[in-house]
A and B are shown apart, each in its own frame.
Chain A
Amino acid sequence: MTAPPGGDRRPLGVVGPAPDWGGPLEVGGVRLATPVMAASGTFGFGTEVPLCDRRALGGMVCKGIFLEPRGGAPPPRIVETPSGMLNAIGLQGPGVEAVIRDYAPLWATWPFPVLVNLNGETVEEYAELAARLDGVPGVSGLEVNISCPNVHRGGMLFGHDPEPAAAVTAAVRARTRLPVWVKLTPATGDIAAVARACEEAGADALCAVNAFVGMALDVRTGQPRLGFRTGGLSGPAIRPLAVYLAHRVAQAVRIPVIGIGGITCAEDAMEFLLAGCRAVQVGTATFVDPNAIGKVVAGLRRRFSEGARPAAEAPTGGGRRRRPVRAIAGGRVVE
Chain B
Amino acid sequence: MHDLQAPLVQRRRVARGVFVLGFRAGPIAREVRAGQFVNVLLRPGPLLRRPFSVHRTEGELVELVLRAVGEGTGRLLELRRGDRVGLLGPLGRGFALDPTAGRVTLVSGGLGVAPMPMAAHQARAMGMEVCWVHGARTAADLCSEWEGDEVRWATEDGSQGVRGTALEAVPEPAGQVLACGPIPMLAALARRWPEAQVAVETVMACGTGVCLGCAVPLTSGVYTRACTEGPVYRAGSIDWERLPAPTHRGTAP
Of the 9-residue stretches B6-14, B24-32, B210-218, which lies at the interface with chain A? Answer: B210-218
- Per the bound structure, the CA–CA distance linking A80 and B71 in Å amounts to 11
Check B3–A92 contact: CB distance below 8 A.
no
A71 touches B222 (CB 8 A): yes
The one of B47, B49, B210, B242 that contacts A43, using a Cβ cutoff of 8 Å: B210
Q: A290 touching B244 by the CB < 8 A rule? A: no
Interface contact B253-A85, CB-CB below 8 Å? no
Which one of A44, A78, A225 has the greatest number of beta carbons of chain B within 10 Å?
A78
CA distance A235 to B202 in the complex (A): 20
Contacts of A89 in B (CB 8 A): 211-213, 215
A74 interface contact, C-beta 8 A:
yes
How far, in whole Å, are A144 and B210 apart by their CA atoms in the complex? Answer: 20
Most buried by B among A63, A71, A287: A287
Indicate if the CB atoms of A290 and B252 lie closer than 8 Å. no
Q: In the complex the two chains form, is B212's CB within 8 Å of A287's CB?
A: no
Q: Which of A51, A76, A218 has the most CB of B within 10 A?
A: A76
Residue interface mask A61-83, B partner, CB < 8 A = 1? 00100000001111111111111
B212-247 vs A, Cβ < 8 Å mask (1 yes, 0 no): 111111000111000010000000000000111011
Selected contact of A92 from candidates B212, B243, B249, CB within 8 Å: B212
- Hey, which chain B residues are within 8 Å of A288, CB to CB? 41, 47-49, 205-206
CA distance A58 to B253 in the complex (A): 29
Q: Is the CB of B223 within 8 A of A71?
A: yes
Quick check: is A286 within 8 A (CB to CB) of the other chain? Answer: yes
Residue A84 interfacial (CB < 8 Å): yes
A85 lies within 8 A of B48 (CB): yes
Establish whether residues B215 and A51, one from each chain, have CB atoms under 8 Å apart when the complex forms.
no
Q: Is the CB of A48 within 8 A of B209?
A: yes
B203 on the A face (CB < 8 A) = yes
Asked if A82 meets B252 with Cβ closer than 8 Å, knowing A44-B210, A72-B223, A287-B205, the reply is: yes
Inter-chain contacts of B217 with A (CB < 8 A)? 74-75
- Chain A interface size, as a band, is 35 or more
Main secondary structure of the interface of A (DSSP, over half): loop
Chain B 141-192 interface residues, beta-carbon cutoff 8 Å to A:
none
Question: Which residues in A have their C-beta under 8 angstroms from that of B41?
Answer: 288-289
Tell whether A235 pairs with B213 under 8 Å between CB atoms, given A75-B202, A83-B253. Answer: no
User: Are B209 and A87 within 8 A (Cβ)?
Assistant: no
**Is A286 a contact partner of B215 (Cβ separation < 8 A)?**
no
CB-CB contacts of A206-227 with B at 8 A, as 1s and 0s?
0000000000001000000101
Query: Quick check: B208 and A80 within 8 Å, CB to CB?
Result: no
The CA of A245 and the CA of B243, in the complex, are separated in Å by: 37
A22, chain B: closest CB distance, angstroms: 30
Q: Is A49 interfacial (CB-CB < 8 Å)? A: yes
In the bound complex, how far is the Cα of B205 from the Cα of A13, in angstroms?
35
Q: Are B47 and A85 in contact (CB under 8 A)?
A: yes
Is the CB of B46 closer than 8 A to any CB of chain A? yes
A residues in contact with B244, CB < 8 Å: 75-76, 227
Give residues 118-141 of B contacting A (CB, 8 Å): none
Interface status of B69 (Cβ within 8 A of chain A)? no
How far does the alpha carbon of A77 sit from the alpha carbon of B215 in the complex, in Å?
7
Q: Is A23's CB within 8 Å of the partner chain B? A: no
Q: Does A7 contact B (CB under 8 A)?
A: no
Check A80–B46 contact: CB distance below 8 A: yes
| The 8 nearest A-B residue pairs measured at CB | A78-B213, A287-B206, A48-B210, A287-B205, A44-B210, A48-B209, A80-B251, A75-B215
What are 29 sample pairs from A and B whose C-beta atoms fall under 8 A apart?
A: A42-B210, A49-B210, A51-B3, A51-B88, A51-B208, A63-B212, A71-B223, A72-B212, A74-B217, A75-B203, A75-B216, A75-B223, A75-B242, A75-B243, A75-B244, A77-B212, A82-B252, A82-B253, A89-B215, A92-B212, A225-B249, A227-B244, A235-B47, A236-B47, A284-B47, A287-B205, A287-B211, A289-B86, A291-B3
A286-B210, A287-B49, A290-B208 are known contacts; what are 11 more A-B pairs with Cβ within 8 Å? A42-B211, A44-B210, A51-B208, A75-B202, A75-B243, A76-B246, A78-B211, A82-B252, A83-B47, A236-B47, A287-B48
Q: B-side interface residues toward A, CB under 8 Å?
A: 1, 3, 41, 46-49, 86, 88, 202-206, 208-217, 221-223, 228, 242-244, 246-247, 249, 251-253
